[in-house]
């Protein structure tokens, strides 16, 4: 009787089943480049780029950076006073969620403003998120 073996090594490696007739075990490995598995970042609308990095943004952005981003978003008319004040009352992770989700829902131009502001305020995080 033949059996199929499956294994998952990483997000960019696909292991195909190999049908075996005996105790010998082999894995056939096919590598898939990152370019093949995800669309090029430049080809995505900015709100979709933000969605892709949402969790990393929430986990990585500091309270101080969030406050600076809110100031810049208010100055540039992306958020209004009520949205800014509402976000400021939340704990860091909730504030980060509020900022990125509010901006994403406002579309491409608003998302571009957030990305530009993040690149200015926290160039290190923007590089980690590949939002340069």
Count: domains in the chain = 2
The structure's pTM equals 0.67
Do 64 and 92 lie in one domain? The reply is yes
* Residues spanned by the domain of 105: 41-128
**pLDDT tens series, the chain, 132 aa:** 444 444 444 444 444 455 555 555 444 444 434 443 344 456 788 889 999 999 999 999 999 999 999 999 999 999 999 999 999 999 999 999 999 999 999 999 999 999 999 999 999 999 999 987
Do 28 and 52 lie in one domain? The reply is no
Phi, psi of 58 (to 5 degrees): -60, -40
Do 12 and 46 lie in one domain? The reply is no
Phi, psi of 130 (to 5 degrees): 50, 50
Check if the beta carbon of residue 7 is closer than 8 Å to that of residue 27: yes
Do 7 and 72 lie in one domain? The reply is no
Helical residues (DSSP H) of the chain, grouped into ranges: 34-37, 46-60, 63-75, 81-88, 92-105, 108-121, 123-128
Residue at token pair 């491409």: 108
């Amino acid at each position: 009787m033949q059996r199929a073996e499956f294994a998952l090594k990483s997000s960019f490696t696909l292991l195909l089943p190999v049908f075996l007739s005996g105790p010998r075990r082999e894995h056939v490995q096919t590598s898939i480049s990152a370019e093949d598995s995800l669309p090029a970042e430049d080809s995505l609308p900015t709100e979709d780029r933000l969605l892709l990095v949402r969790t990393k943004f929430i986990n990585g952005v500091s309270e101080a950076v969030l406050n600076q981003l809110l100031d810049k978003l208010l100055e540039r008319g992306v958020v209004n006073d009520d949205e800014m004040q509402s976000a400021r009352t939340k704990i860091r992770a909730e504030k980060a969620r509020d900022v990125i989700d509010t901006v994403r829902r406002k579309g491409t131009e608003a998302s571009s403003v957030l990305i530009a502001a993040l690149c200015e305020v926290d160039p290190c995080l923007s590089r980690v998120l590949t939002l340069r």
